[in-house]
Amino acid sequence: DAGVIQSPRHEVTEMGQEVTLRCKPISGHDYLFWYRQTMMRGLELLIYFNNNVPIDDSGMPEDRFSAKMPNASFSTLKIQPSEPRDSAVYFCASSLGGGLSTDTQYFGPGTRLTVL
């Protein structure tokens, strides 16, 4: 398996522009997670899905952020309009879930977003 795939790996945009980050989870995984990492706040969970349904979006910073999972193999995180404080590395992760003690999350390589 190729693991979790994220695109683009790097994104540079100007303030006010729309940004879309993409994620393909590991095939067969039922859970998908979006994280954001900054020097100031560390690694924080934004939202996660179970079987394509958003379960907890309490970490989404504000209405400018939205996430969708139209099918089991694809998810997007959109920021509209983007602001310089959104600059961060965004990670996507997936897991089998199910509450098993052996459940682990597998992370993608991340998208480094810079908003000028």
Partner 1 sequence: DAKTTQPTSMDCAEGRAANLPCNHSTISGNEYVYWYRQIHSQGPQYIIHGLKNNETNEMASLIITEDRKSSTLILPHATLRDTAVYYCIVRPNFGNEKLTFGTGTRLTIIP
- Binding interface with partner 1 (CB under 8 A): 4, 31, 33, 42-45, 48, 50, 55-56, 91, 93, 95, 97, 99-101, 103-110
Instruction: Please state the closest distance from residue 100 (CB atom) to partner 1, in A.
Output: 8
- Distance between CA atoms of residues 116 and 102, nearest Å: 42
Give the length of the chain: 116
- Distance between CA atoms of residues 47 and 32, nearest Å: 8
Cβ proximity to partner 1, 3 vs 16, nearer residue? 3
Cβ proximity to partner 1, 30 vs 74, nearer residue? 30
Q: Which of 19, 53, 55, 43 is nearest to 92 (CA)?
A: 43
Instruction: Please state the closest distance from residue 108 (CB atom) to partner 1, in A.
Output: 6
Instruction: Please state the closest distance from residue 64 (CB atom) to partner 1, in A.
Output: 23
Cβ proximity to partner 1, 29 vs 79, nearer residue? 29
Instruction: Please state the closest distance from residue 75 (CB atom) to partner 1, in A.
Output: 15
- Distance between CA atoms of residues 15 and 86, nearest Å: 10
Contact of 45 with 61, CB cutoff 8 Å? no
